[in-house]
Structure 1
Amino acid sequence: MTSTADGVSALEAGVLSQLDHDELLLLTASLVAAGGENPGSTEEATVAVLREACERYGFDVELTEVAPGRQNLVATLEGGTGQGLMFLGHSDVVPAGEGWTSDPFEPYARDGRLYGRGTTDMKGGLAAIVLAMAAIRASGEQLRGPLQLVCTVDEEDRGLGLRAYVPTAQRGVFAACVVAEPTDLQTVIACRGDSYLSLTVGGRAAHSGRPGDGRNAIAAAARVLEIVRADHEALSAVQHPLLGSGTWSVGTITGGTGTSVVAADCAVTLDRRLMPEENAQLIVNEFMEKVRDAGIDGDGIVVSLVIDMEMPGFTTDPAHPLVVGAVEAMADAGGGRQSVGGWSAACDGGFVARDLGIPCIVLGPGGLNDQAHQPNESVSINELAIAARAYVLLALRLVGRQ
């Protein structure tokens, strides 16, 4: 291809000229206004907005119901018989919570930013994908393989949408996947996973005046949590260059029936962040061995630890064409030339990498640490435009004509 001075070819410049930046902002705002708090609501209204836009732009759209009122959406721009590029996102948002200075689901623009719950995580990323695919379709550019947006439900809680999608996904169709979560436009090649664990401790009730007659479940749980603390410290001693380490966090604890009664039960929820090579079940097995070795389980005390949710992590070779192409595309789109990075959070990309064998990156507008899941969430309008341009360039370079 003949290239312009900024690295964008004449053909690519022509496709970029088809990007509708006003529609990009409007679609982001419409998706935000549709809500979709999870837990607490459904994604139905958001999916309806997304479906209407995708059908209007001429994509093939398929909806699959995962649970009542909760549908995965797959929108495809067909290409040739070669391998294509998948874009991955989710339609739910975390609950708005307290501390907003305006209605979180009435988006507004001010000082170059769009405000509202989900602007960063991740309605802006979804809109950028749709408008990028629309620009490519409007240009008439022929693709060697398909472009596809996979938008799942329930990413913010238990991952029901992606879990339902994986068994039905076509194998071998896509060479790469871009997860459009917020990364401040940095190409993220490594992502931690996550697991939710439920710890239950059973004991035996007795009068608190004779505590030796019972078996105190809360006291036993405290000993178990000391193992959690020690393991967390041991994990922190071994640092991954991009991801840090696996971590433990205690979320909730309940137990007992009254001050004068030896507690017969205790329940604790735990968050165990996973390194890409870790498996939650193996972690549980090894942890329970430590509980038994410490003599906590037995003599009237019963301890169990079960997995409520597991989301795998992933890593992608920095030399992979997806990674190299994303860094170049972002630079040529106006996002600057950034080094690759890691993501301490978890995302659905781990399932795509592990279960479908598709190399993944995370790349999207907005900030994970300073905006996502926070009051007065916002995204830079300029970042939305840069992300859409980068998606266009990456798609053309990976699956466009040569």
Structure 2
Amino acid sequence: MESQIVDLTRALVGIPSHDDETDAGTHVEDWLRRETDAAVTRDDAGNVIARRGAHGNAETLALVGHHDVVEPAPTQLVDGADPKRGAAYAIEERDGRLYGRGTADMKGALAAAMLAFREADPAGELVFASFVGEEVGGIGARHALENGFGPDVAVVGEGSTGYSSPAVTDVAVAHKGRRGSTIVARGSAAHASEVDAGENAIYRATDAISLIRDLEVPSVDVAGETIDGSLVVTEIDGGTAMNVVPDRCEMTVDERTVPGTRAPIERVESVEGLEWIVDQDLPPMRCDDDAFAATVLEAADGTQSGTPELVTKPHATDAGWLSQSGTECVICGPAEPGQAHTPDESVSIEVLERCSETYRRVAERWPR
């Protein structure tokens, strides 16, 4: 298995996919057509979806990943080439790990899922899905869901290794979402020597800041952990000159959301002259199917010497979009905290093998 998973991960990582996922998607599609008897499709967005096993009314389990990545660092390119010219990504193996852009997030997990999809004798209908655009708001997942993709349950291969203890691959049953907002304060301009002739937009913006600081941020208990949301003003921009009462001021707000409830930011619109605009809304995720989570945890436990636990993640993934649409999701993958998006991104080969075996076992045990 090691040489197969290393070779497939190497091939996937070497294909540039930070601004155009086409070639990476083609490699995934061609491999599935060559190595499996599955029904393989490529949708208009570029998502690659394959199905095998039982059909009809059988419950559907999906193994889900994405083949886009963030832009590589110069050191992650072959010969330090210019990424704008489509240069191949460098990949290096040392000390039992693979180094390169996408090894952890998440072409290594994708390779593990592809091999498990090929090797499993599924108990129900088994689906493999590799989405585009995860790194830019879940474009591919949203497209697939809008066009009928809807498995009953899914294992999403984002990182869950090293959460409960080092080197242990856990099973995440919840994660936070992210809502990014812009609040626009409007007033009327005047000369600064005639303050009362205008309405100061910056003052109105500070009223919004005070309101936001007083809002109660929700939290929720999942798997013995408390997931706390957060709310913070991150940028502010207003005014045109030292001697002009400003007629416009904008601020940005970063909110980390939790499953089931949100901070009532919309209250800012009760303040005169304020407009609230949602720029990005990545949904949180929580798995409410205890039996499915237990099955994945049992499979993960059987593939490693450490003892995995049900855990939560701090950041959003495509599992949020799937969960929002009705798919029960868990996250189980090889990436460790602090690996994704870094100049020295890497993944353990041993953990890649572990995850592939976990996925195979889940496919053969679910539905029970």
TM-score by length of 2: 0.86
Q: 1:325 aligns with which of 292, 295, 300?
A: 295
RMSD: 2.6
* 1:227-376 equivalences in 2 (<5 Å): 227-231=211-215, 234-235=216-217, 241-278=224-261, 283=263, 286-290=264-268, 292=270, 297-298=271-272, 302-317=273-288, 319-320=290-291, 322-334=292-304, 336-355=306-325, 357-367=326-336, 369-376=337-344
Matched, 1:381 2:358: no
Alignment partner, residue 10 of structure 1 = none
Alignment partner, residue 79 of structure 1 = 54
Alignment partner, residue 192 of structure 2 = 208
Cα 1:50–1:111 change in 2 (3 A) is same
SS of the residue aligned with 1:61?
Answer: strand
Alignment partner, residue 24 of structure 2 = 46
CA distance in 1, matches of 2:60, 2:137: 28
Give the counterpart letter for 2:309 in structure 1. S
Give the counterpart letter for 2:209 in structure 1. L
Q: Deviations over 1:203-232 (max 9, x none)?
A: 22233343433323233223312332333x
CA distance in 1, matches of 2:149, 2:143: 13
TM-aligned CA deviation for residue 255 of structure 1: 2.9
SS of the residue aligned with 2:136?
Answer: coil
CA distance in 1, matches of 2:34, 2:298: 30
- Judging by fraction of residues, say which structure has more strand: 2
Cα 1:97–1:206 change in 2 (3 A) is farther
Q: Deviations over 1:217-249 (max 9, x none)?
A: 233223312332333xx3278766435211123
TM-aligned CA deviation for residue 335 of structure 1: 5.6
CA distance in 2, matches of 1:88, 1:243: 26
Q: Deviations over 1:172-205 (max 9, x none)?
A: xx44210110110210111222222222222222
Q: How many positions carry a matched residue from both structures?
A: 350
CA distance in 2, matches of 1:167, 1:182: 26
Q: Deviations over 1:49-95 (max 9, x none)?
A: 211222221232211123xxxx1111222335421311111222223
CA distance in 1, matches of 2:269, 2:90: 50
Alignment partner, residue 157 of structure 2 = 180
Alignment partner, residue 28 of structure 1 = 9
Structure 2: gaps spanning 5 or more residues: 84-88, 162-168
Cα 1:373–1:219 change in 2 (3 A) is farther
Structure 1: gaps spanning 5 or more residues: 1-19
Cα 1:180–1:205 change in 2 (3 A) is same
Residue 268 of structure 2 contacts residue 276 of structure 2 at CA under 8 Å; is this kept in 1?
A: no
TM-aligned CA deviation for residue 46 of structure 1: 1.9
SS of the residue aligned with 2:158?
Answer: coil
CA distance in 2, matches of 1:269, 1:190: 26
Residue 80 of structure 1 contacts residue 144 of structure 1 at CA under 8 Å; is this kept in 2?
A: no
Residue 193 of structure 1 contacts residue 313 of structure 1 at CA under 8 Å; is this kept in 2?
A: yes
CA distance in 1, matches of 2:252, 2:67: 26
Cα 1:91–1:251 change in 2 (3 A) is farther
CA distance in 1, matches of 2:213, 2:74: 31
Give the counterpart letter for 2:67 in structure 1. S
CA distance in 1, matches of 2:67, 2:211: 37
CA distance in 2, matches of 1:216, 1:42: 45
**Percent of counterpart pairs with the same letter?**
28
Residue 153 of structure 2 contacts residue 328 of structure 2 at CA under 8 Å; is this kept in 1?
A: yes
Alignment partner, residue 165 of structure 2 = none
